[in-house]
Amino acid sequence: MSDQTAKATFGAGCFWGVEATFRQIDGVTSTAVGYSGGSKDKPTYEEVCRKDTGHAEVVEVEFDPGKVSYEELLRVFFENHDPTTLNRQGPDVGTQYRSAIFFHDEAQREAAEKAKAELDAAGRFPRPIVTEITPAQTFWIAEDYHQRYLEKRGLSSCHIGTQSHGEPS
């Protein structure tokens, strides 16, 4: 990470789709999918899916704050998943799919809490937002086959109908 970039870490369900969404934003310099917020060092996808580790599927976003603000990344985060469902996004159920913002500094924490409170107060969603806002922990990069997963396969989303994404074949 250079002096001109910052990091943001978000959990919003299937990390394949979340990564694809953030990669499209001007000012995002790189993304990586992985795991954060759990108790095991170097978790594998299988361990996270078994719910053995407490990790969330996350995307670590490196961005140029001169081109895109953290507040804009928060807007994209909240607009591209349902932050009112606890441990679920669409057909994907489990703590690894929780809505989470892992802040890297006090300014990110304040911005995340403000965005969440403003959206709740505005009634933007039919239910209260359950997104957890916690300090960034170790980011464990996911296995290589998960990186840019949808892009590698020419897909635009994680789901077809109501099918869960599951283990790739």
CATH code, 6-153: 3.30.1060.10
Residue 27 has pLDDT above 70, yes or no: yes
Q: How far apart are CA 89 and CA 108, in angstroms?
A: 24
Its pTM stands at 0.87
pLDDT above 90: residue 59: yes
Alpha-carbon distance of 29 to 5, in angstroms, equals 8
For the chain, what are the domain ranges? 6-153
> Quick one: what percent of the chain has pLDDT higher than 90?
67
Q: Is 123 left (phi over 0), alpha (psi -120 to 50) or beta?
A: left
Q: pLDDT-based confidence at 90, cuts 50/70/90?
A: confident
Give the pLDDT confidence of 134-162 residue by residue, as tens digits: 999 999 988 877 777 566 666 555 543 33
Q: Rounded to whole angstroms, how far apart are CA atoms 28 and 1?
A: 12
Residues involved in catalysis:
14
Placement of tokens 């937002």 in the chain: 129
Q: Report d(CA 27, CA 25) in Å as an integer.
A: 6
